[in-house]
Structure 1
Amino acid sequence: MADAQLTATGERAGWGRIALRVGVIYLVARVVTTAFLLLAAGMSGPGSRMGAGADLGDVVVAWDGTWYWFIAVTGYPAELPRTDDGLVAENAWAFMPLFPYLAQLVSLPFGSWAAGASIVSLLAGYAASVVLFHLLRTRLDDAAATWAIVFFACGPLAALFHVGYAETLNLVWLFCALWCVVRRRYAWLYALIPLMAFTRPGVLAFSLFLALYGMWRWFHRDREPLRTPEIAHIVVLGLLAAAAGFAWQVIAGIVTGEPSAYLATELAWRRNWIPGEATFAPFGGFLSGVSFWFGSMWGLPVELGYAVLVVVVVLVAAALLLVPQVKRLGVEIRLWSASYLVYLLLVFFPQSSIFRLLLPLSPLWGAFAVPRSPVWRLGVLAACLIGQWWWIYNMYALGNTAWQIP
């Protein structure tokens, strides 16, 4: 009894030390990012997205933050808006409900949705950092896991820890879900999967991940026994993730009376680049994107774009399979990364938002933290901060061209 109590006390103390260490790293990183955001807001001029005289509150509700605020205030339309051509126009159904309504609840004492949204993003980012440390610590030593959190907290997309976007809240659920798979604690996933599904699109990638993970476990059952209850959990959870991934489409169809409401809404954004595109097809977005960027925007042969796409896919696959630093992260993180990238290839139209959509691959920061050279780690940190400022400057100080959309 006494030994058990001492063990539990020691574990709680360990968790507390880690939470404090991560908290210090996260706080320093947030001070730096806040300075960058204030500088970008001050540089915003008449021709930028936010206009002259922008402040930090304008940054929080800029871009998709405006849509989340609009959902919190007005909800979702029962009738889809239409363009002059009769096509579905951009509307709130493209965004999941959990983040805007949670931000609205948190904002009640402050009287400002922007304040609530920023608080949710900041706290969720801290929680995601703590969980990511524990996830990576299952494979890496303490120093490497700590440096991975430094890179994560200071990374090029660090502005998302501050603004009214659902990304950091989704990362909490995702990192918890991956940690549960690593620890074989499947019961928690029955709650985490629906939370992911109604926070951000992408839970279908988690369904693919569970399918690949189940197959990997089956073929390696001689190394680790795969018992019947575990098989049942993996199969049922994979089906749950698939059903949850389509649930929002069903809800949008029922409310609006149009079964294709969600897909038509998503295509409304794509028509900003490719006018007239009105149908969805797997991989169609990426193929259309290659044609658009290489052909229409850059004046290069479209065939070159296809070749570049193939080379990138091959190189990424090789990295996930062969690079020792990536292999150190474990099969779960590698399979998740592959599943999510396949999902993006299937559904996404490549444009500047691709940087933001790569955030769920954040566990791969662990691979950058494995080399122990101080020069390497400080170099990666410097690159993170430079990339962070570049992204903030272009997306918030400027935001006035087709490739400056976060």
Structure 2
Amino acid sequence: MAGEQLTSSPVVRASAARTAVRVAAIYVTARIVTTLFLFAATELSSFTSRMGADARLGDTVVAWDGTWYWLVAVSGYPTRLPLTDSGQVAENAWAFLPIYPWLAEAVSAPFGLWQTGALIVSLVAGYAASVALYYLLRMRLDESATLWAVVFFANGPLAALFHVGYAEALNLFWLFCALLAVARRRYAWLYVLIPLMAFTRPGVLAFALFLALFGIWRWFRRAREPLRGPEIAHIVAAGLLAAIAGFAWQFIAGWVTGVPDAYLATELAWRRNWVLGDATFTPLEPFLAGVSYWFETMWHLPLALGYALVGGGLVLIAVALIALPQVRRLGIEIRLWSASYLVYLLLVFFPQSSIFRLLVPLSPLWGAFAVPRSRAWRLGVLVACLVGQWWWIYNMYALGSTNWQVP
């Protein structure tokens, strides 16, 4: 049976209630630590910081992109694109998708502050994502490794995203549920989850690629796990839905503003913070431009060295996804998703300090770090997570004054 093939670990399963409580204990403890880190960052914030010398803990919720999500909630999207003095499209709300800010606005109604609603949505979504991640990894790992993976996720270097007005936590919940639906072959859920992902955070095109690769993998192993007509139809239909949904926001922005490339022009407005002049887009061009910017312009190193280091890193990642035993233990769904998402970033992303945040959808890979049973190893990973978390919070919130301190 497919269910037996999908489960490589034995098992006496914990009840849903017990799982919810155990994950909650991990998550609440982690959130206390992150709150202390964020509080310390506000105390260390100075007049040169993005938040200023009189920063308060609540200011972290609407710092950086949190302000844009707030503007979407209270002002909506512009029907006329704002322009810079040189006539180029300026930064504007079309770069931010609507589900998170509107949901936060609805939740904030009893409290009167959007920040409160945003904090509640991020915290609750982060917990829900932790539970979904538990069930996703538990299909392949034992109880101990699964819980440790949740510990790493809840305490990870980017754990502050569970506290601030960003859409990542909510999107991770949709994503983990979608991966779980595929892993359990319950494809009907995808018709709900894919549109939710598409209008929460950019990146659903990576899920379309994932479904295409997953469908090919299922075809080649159909002798071991029968591939019937309804499953083929679901994979193809869901993949097409993800592809259509991935471009939907661009069409909506173009229709509302009357400017066909309104969304792309808006996204390119942010790149001008790093690269002066006209920014253009073709697949892979932003990534290559980013390598040139950092190695030649910023670090004054040979461009060839940049290409060599980046190429070598990509080869190592590919080898890890294909051959590393700890990663193989996680199952084909997580491995194909990770590869698909990395290809997506390679094709569309201009590498800068936000890369750390954009790598968060690879969080199921925390399971590979939890596979080794050594307590010293697991504690070491946790310490590294907490050190990385403080480093990120300190740079992005206490400082936040240079081009590599943008979350």
- TM-score bracket, normalised by the shorter chain, equals over 0.9
1:289–1:350 Cα contact (<8 Å) kept: yes
1:173–1:195 Cα contact (<8 Å) kept: yes
What do residues 353-379 of structure 1 show as CA deviations (whole Å, max 9, x unaligned)?
Answer: 000000000000000000000000000
Deviation for aligned residue 1:278: 2.9
**TM-score by structure 1 length?**
0.97
* Partner-residue secondary structure (3-state), 1:314: helix
Deviation for aligned residue 1:352: 0.3
Distance 1:13 1:404 in 2: 42
Tell me the equivalent position of 1:54: 55
- The answer to whether residue 255 in structure 2 is matched with residue 254 in structure 1 is yes
Deviation for aligned residue 1:283: 0.5
Tell me the equivalent position of 1:328: 329
* Partner-residue secondary structure (3-state), 1:173: helix
- The answer to whether residue 146 in structure 2 is matched with residue 130 in structure 1 is no
Tell me the equivalent position of 1:64: 65
Distance 1:365 1:285 in 2: 28
Deviation for aligned residue 1:36: 0.2
Distance 1:57 1:70 in 2: 17
Unpaired runs of 5+ in structure 2? 1-11
Distance 1:162 1:126 in 2: 11
Q: Which amino acid aligns with 1:81?
A: P
Distance 1:277 1:368 in 2: 42
1:249–1:260 Cα contact (<8 Å) kept: yes
1:59–1:396 Cα contact (<8 Å) kept: yes
Distance 1:257 1:172 in 2: 34
For the aligned residues, what is the CA RMSD?
Answer: 1.0
Distance 2:277 2:232 in 1: 45
Tell me the equivalent position of 1:147: 148
Tell me the equivalent position of 2:349: 348
Distance 2:110 2:305 in 1: 55
1:206–1:241 Cα contact (<8 Å) kept: yes
Tell me the equivalent position of 2:33: 32
Distance 1:313 1:374 in 2: 30
Tell me the equivalent position of 1:242: 243
Larger deviation, residues 375-384 vs 269-278: 269-278
Q: Which amino acid aligns with 1:65?
A: G
Deviation for aligned residue 1:165: 0.2
* Partner-residue secondary structure (3-state), 2:78: coil
- The answer to whether residue 154 in structure 2 is matched with residue 157 in structure 1 is no
Distance 2:320 2:93 in 1: 37
Q: Which amino acid aligns with 2:268?
A: L
Distance 1:216 1:29 in 2: 37
Distance 1:56 1:136 in 2: 34
Distance 1:306 1:274 in 2: 19
Distance 2:271 2:54 in 1: 31
Q: Which amino acid aligns with 1:359?
A: V
What do residues 45-79 of structure 1 show as CA deviations (whole Å, max 9, x unaligned)?
Answer: 00011001101111010000000001101000000
Distance 1:189 1:277 in 2: 38
- The answer to whether residue 116 in structure 2 is matched with residue 115 in structure 1 is yes
Tell me the equivalent position of 1:314: 315
Q: Which amino acid aligns with 2:47?
A: P
Q: Superposition pairs for residues 1-400 of structure 1, below 5 Å?
A: 14-400=15-401
* Partner-residue secondary structure (3-state), 1:277: coil
Distance 1:187 1:312 in 2: 37
Deviation for aligned residue 1:275: 1.2
Moved over 6 A (4+): none
* Partner-residue secondary structure (3-state), 1:192: helix
Distance 1:265 1:364 in 2: 32
Provide the aligned length of Structure 1 versus Structure 2.
Answer: 396
1:270–1:277 Cα contact (<8 Å) kept: no
Larger deviation, residues 277-286 vs 365-374: 277-286
* Partner-residue secondary structure (3-state), 2:353: coil
Distance 1:239 1:349 in 2: 26
Sequence identity percentage:
73
- Specify whether residues 12 and 293 from structure 1 end up closer, same or farther in structure 2 by C-alpha distance, changes over 3 A only: closer
What do residues 310-348 of structure 1 show as CA deviations (whole Å, max 9, x unaligned)?
Answer: 111101000000100000000000000000000000000
Distance 1:310 1:299 in 2: 19
Distance 2:279 2:23 in 1: 46
Deviation for aligned residue 1:12: 11
- Specify whether residues 382 and 13 from structure 1 end up closer, same or farther in structure 2 by C-alpha distance, changes over 3 A only: closer
